[in-house]
Structure 1
Amino acid sequence: MKSFRDIKIKRQLQAILHVLANSEESIGSERISEILRLSGIELTDRAIRDYLILTDSMGWTENLGRKGRRITNRGREELETELVVDKVGFVSSKVEDLAFRMDFDLSKKQGKIILNISYLKKEYLSKYINKIYQVYEKNLGMGKLLTIADEEQTLGSFRVPKNHVAIGTICSVSLNGIFLRHGIPMTSRFGSLVELEQGEPKRFTQIISYDGTTIDPLEIFIRGRMTNVGSATKTGNGVIGVSFREIPSVSLNKAKELAKEVEKCLLGGILAFGTPNQPLLDMSVPYGRTGILVLAGLNPIAVLAENGVEVVSKAMNCLFDYNSLIQYTEIEKLVKKII
């Protein structure tokens, strides 16, 4: 939004684009106004319509007539270049927002979970799908479920670019939402890389605090080719993405029982529970807290980047229906239909 000098205008445009980006369906100016008002932003329907005419002209939104507007992929890219000062702590606040909005019912096995979305050129999918399979097979991914969308199809509000395919993987923040619904507040402290030896976590090699970053840590690690998930799947030795979480120590026993139920729903991803008040992999926790290591939902995507595949990932992209996911053992059949 470099062409707009007025910082107030920039922020209002950003707010409108954020509303559209978080909506799974196209919406009109009246609904946008209502959502913004809940966030403390007062804009008239007329003002929003004027802004939408501007975003249409910039290619950031698409006018669908009476159905309203939807954000374009170009609009999503524009959001990533918004005012950096406004984005500090964005990842941390997004974790809390999505965990609260998630409505997955563990006992009924229905509702929405949080999805990461990654896309790549279609030509690479059949060549490397077996490597994604191996990550899940070795229990290095978040859960056992995922989804794949062909070009021009949508995942949430994301439309897959032409000649590309998108892979939706379960975001580890889904655990935060499940634990929250069962009375256990889970705090996400940082994203990290952890070295495995013989399949066991040994030490942190990199950490990025969620409070101090404008980009999801795993996106950074994957772009920087800093993982070695492929080696971990073959030998048990490698470097994988992991999130460090904390829970109240008084809830530890309940959390362990809940984790077993989560695994039955193929959403499990806890690599290790710590000990109350004690460091986990030398990372200290406050008194009354217990550390948890949670596998990164983007580990299956990291293995693509390690093989030189150009892949773009959007962590914590959207809420997605649990029953629309498939087990990883079915992905090869689905890929054959797409390719």
Structure 2
Amino acid sequence: MSMTADAVPDAPAPATPITTTYHPAHPLNLFRTVGVLMRGPRDPTMLVDGVTLWRASRTPEGIATLALRQSGEGIHATAWGPGASWMLEQLPVLCGADDDASGFDVSGHPILADIARRTISSRLTRTDLVFDALVSATIEQKVTSLQAFGAWRVLITRFGERAPGPTPRPMFAPPTIDGWRGIPSWAWHRAGVEPPQSRAIVRAAERGQRIADAVIAAETGADRDRILTSLPGIGAWTAAETRIRALGDPDAVSIGDYHLAHEVGFALTGSRVDDDGMLELLAPWAGHRQRVIRLILAGGPREARRGPRLAPEDHRTR
């Protein structure tokens, strides 16, 4: 796909939408559950417009746009594009239908128990789009969220595909795997993605869909980590983030995160800890450690900021 930096491709020809209503068997807050997938407020693949959540994806059957609206009757879904049927079939797991919290007990920790009570309608979402999750996580390695979200927006808008349907603003589905592989080095640089991250994505794309299929087929988180970290440039943090975003993994822990261990430690003990300390604190909830992290991030006590925010460094002028 080729266009000038400011050009916006025309929307696809109008297509007949298909609709359904999903009736969850569990309490559900749509925005808290699915909204965690949004990569910043200007994400070209997702947006919130009033009471409607829009999502553009590249499914195994082609691109699709999904519009979701929650009411007392359930989740009203409308989808456009070649992948519309796939999107609607996947809607229950997107809304957390496979999120099984059996055995998860935080009743012994008053702070976590209170947050769990207040956020009972938040579920772990699952997209089954492993490669897109891997790409977004790789772009977010070792940079600020502001930098990563900006790079994601530039790359998706320039090399993705215009999403179908009456979206409130132009939206884009991510490139194909071959499309990611074909992005030139200068475009990565212009978007603000450093060579180690762009090389990791291109090398993963050289493995094609089979790497994503292998991750989905793996039976344990350890097996999925082994597959993902076998890719050059993919470490424990990126593997965990991929598992969380694509598979709703309830036990994934993002080791190596700049803030996470500090936040978990402060919420559970009142003091900062390192990654080893975080794993020790989370050990009583083995199998559900991501659930504990979500509770802490949703409403746990936060340490007062001690210094200025990290100033992003722009490498594009080099």
Is the strand fraction higher in 1 or 2?
1
TM-score range, shorter chain: under 0.3
| TM-score (ref. length: structure 2) | 0.25
Task: Tell me: higher relative CO, structure 1 or 2? Use CA pairs within 8 A at least 6 residues apart.
Answer: 1
